[in-house]
Amino acid sequence: MIKKRIFISSVQVEFAMERQMLFDYLTQDALLGKFFEPFIFENLPAVNYSASSVFIKEVEHCDIYLGLFGKDYGHEDTEGISPTEREFDHAGLHYKTRLIFLSNHLPSERNPKELALIRKAEQVLVRRQFTSISDLKSAVYASLIRYLEENEVIRTSPFDASLNSSASIDDLDTDKIKEFLHIARAKRNFPLAIESSPEIVLTHLNLLSDKRISNAAILLFGKQPQRFFISSEIRCAHFHGTEVAKPIPSYQVYKGDVFLLVDQAVDFVLSKINVSVGTRDLSTQVPVEYELPQAAVREAIVNAVAHRDYTSNGSVQVMLFKDRLEIWNPGRLPYGLTTARLRKPHNSIPANPLLAEPMYLSGYIERMGTGTGDIIRLCHDKHLKAPEFIQEEFFRTIIWRSHAEDVTPQATPQATPQATPQVSEYIKRVIMVTTGEMKREEIQGMLELRDRKNFIENYLNPAMVEGYMILKYPDNPNHPMQMYLLTERGLLLKELMVSINR
């Protein structure tokens, strides 16, 4: 980041100590030193140019003019103007940010020309007074922090609540907002009526102010959120072993709004782990049980998306290894919350509160800080090793797998390659849960998958292309009562897989 240059004016002996103090303070302060580079005339090397011309050039090159006005007016040139007033005027001519600090003196104590300069500054600026060096330091600090806030270099409000200067409501997908409204009313009794306009919904959620949308609005309902926040994507990878190493059997970079990102990442994991598919002997629905608790996987990924640091250049990473699932979140735990406390009941302290609220309303997260506790409980109920939560440069959640020695995704019944055709595991899963005529949503729901596009492209379409499944109304793919059913070939494969498992 390029530092903002500050020209500290006043060559009078009156403020020699103050100038040096400000230079040292701005140079050494851990926060301000990252953003500002001060200049004082005492540090100017000997040159063959007049001091006044050098100072004027320095004013042109600065971003901020910081003026110290006191009792003395200073040396006057042939026109009766002091260097301080020349610099002040030149900074205004070049539209520099001007910060003026006045010593605490009565008007009668000031040089008449200095008093006139102060009154001229009062016509265009807000100036602050100081009585001591410590007062001056505090006043300068407050003014520079305000400068950083107004220029959106730093924020006192959460990232998600900040209004985005580059986006408008036209960058949001109104269909997504309407869909959210339906879901929020059904799941959480959201009070707004179905016919509410997108503007009313956004305003109710504190995502719209003076026709400007917040960063959270873009992440939740944006047409292309990654156009504004490129690192908000999720990177998913599947490794054969226990370390990050090539070749990588499967690697996906997912983009979209936060709801789609969660669904895509969860479906990626579910498609790579073992799944057991039962029969309808005890229920009208085919029981499907994944190696890892689906709810724990979802909770861990939702937490990473909802609580990550969106100012970081890092992305959420979901990595499936032979022995574990790791979810990496570019962010840190809130102050006072430790990884040890995550294992006990704790308050919910969302890093992105305006992002978390709609995710709660749509059923993706809970409010009460139960997420990590649920992950622990779900893994315990599944007889898995206790999950781990690690805070380093990234926050990591580790969910341990049940059978590290055998992690090749399978659909139970576990047909061996020698006994069954070489069919993808995606197709096997679809075949095992399909009974009679079923809608696409029913089959997808049986496998607990939420990403419609992923399900159609990786599961449903390949099953039809390979001849294991057909449409009930093949001449009208968009028929309102469209159903899917197994072909004779699909039924034979299903029977073969079931018989092998007996």
CATH of segment(s) 411-501:
1.10.10
Is residue 454 within 8 Å of 462, Cβ to Cβ?
no
HEC readout, 204-231: HCCCEECCEEEHHHHHHHECCHHHHCHH
Domains 4-150 and 231-351+358-400 share a fold: no
What single string gives the DSSP state of each residue in 348-364?
Answer: ---SSHHHHHHHHHTTS
Top CATH class, 231-351+358-400: alpha beta
Q: How far apart are alpha carbons 329 and 307 in whole angstroms?
A: 8
What single string gives the DSSP state of each residue in 392-408?
Answer: SSSEEEEEE-S-TT--S
Q: Tokens at residue 392, please?
A: 């380093």
pTM of the predicted structure, to 2 decimals: 0.66
HEC readout, 240-281: CCCCCCCCCCEEEEECCCHHHHHHHHHHHHHHHCCEEECCCC
pLDDT in tens, the chain (502 residues): 689 999 998 666 788 899 999 999 999 888 899 999 999 887 665 554 455 677 888 899 999 999 999 999 988 889 999 989 999 999 999 999 999 999 989 999 999 999 999 999 887 776 778 888 888 888 898 889 888 877 878 877 778 888 898 999 999 999 999 999 999 999 999 989 999 999 999 999 989 988 899 999 999 999 999 999 999 999 999 998 999 888 888 999 999 999 999 999 999 999 999 888 766 555 556 678 899 999 999 999 999 999 899 988 899 999 999 999 999 999 888 766 778 888 888 777 777 888 988 999 999 987 666 788 999 999 999 999 999 999 887 899 999 998 644 444 444 444 444 445 678 888 989 998 998 999 999 999 889 898 888 899 889 999 999 999 999 999 998 999 999 999 999 999 888 887 766 6
Q: How far apart are alpha carbons 240 and 244 in whole angstroms?
A: 9
Q: How far apart are alpha carbons 424 and 97 in whole angstroms?
A: 65
Beta partners for residue 213, in sequence order: 208
Which homologous superfamily does the CATH classification assign to the domain defined by 4-150? Toll/interleukin-1 receptor homology (TIR) domain (3.40.50.10140)
Helix (H, G, I), strand (E, B) or coil at 365: coil
Q: Which are the contacts of 304, defined by CB distance < 8 A and separation ≥ 6?
A: 316, 318, 327, 328, 329, 395, 397
Helix (H, G, I), strand (E, B) or coil at 382: coil
E strand or H helix at 115: helix 112-122
Domains of the chain by residue range: 4-150, 159-230, 231-351+358-400, 411-501
